[in-house]
Structure 1
């Protein structure tokens, strides 16, 4: 507010849009070549390197939105940590299916063992001559 009430120290008179009468003209001074220009530099300086350019990759807009919302980001990260710690429902189902598969394999082995024992008993009975007697 203080600057608005003060008057400027110098008010230029402008005669048109392209009036340059208030600017001073400077003469170009010719520079003499310096000895430093002819020396071989001892250390690397990057002043004579060409401009190669740069690339800009815009980030994912979802990532930008979560960066600006720090409180919700903290909540989202805590929820993510909890979900990563706990096994997912699919992992639990997979474990249960594997356990059931193992139990069924054990039952099949036991059943096959019993069937083989019965076949062995029948084979022995048939070969022992028992069938020649009263049964058939």
Structure 2
């Protein structure tokens, strides 16, 4: 079954747990400075497109352990059925798109982790669970920090 948990390879399982662990570490990275930037983006305190692009790229690089400049911001993203989505991944180009419109920016940790998993070949079920777990790990630790 494509896109199910049955597709979960050992490599994808390790990648998923690594990403969740990075979500936890995100709350403490640079003495909480990156978490402060995440919260400013989530709360809408950062409105400038370049600042959002740079901040989200930094989150992607930290969560997904990459040096790539592969994240682009967008507004009003939809899937092929016209339904609103928080992000998308284009595996052929290695590009991740994150929607920054209104409430969608509030889920940026989930979205970046989710789309990052797709860029490593994960199916929808694995990407979804990893996104939620990474966001939960980040939020609990950011709150505690």
TM-score range, shorter chain: under 0.3
**Which structure carries more relative contact order (alpha carbon 8 Å, separation 6+)?**
2
Higher strand share: 2
Higher helix share: 2
Instruction: Select the structure of larger CA radius of gyration.
Output: 1
TM-score normalised by length of structure 1: 0.18
TM-score normalised by length of structure 2: 0.17
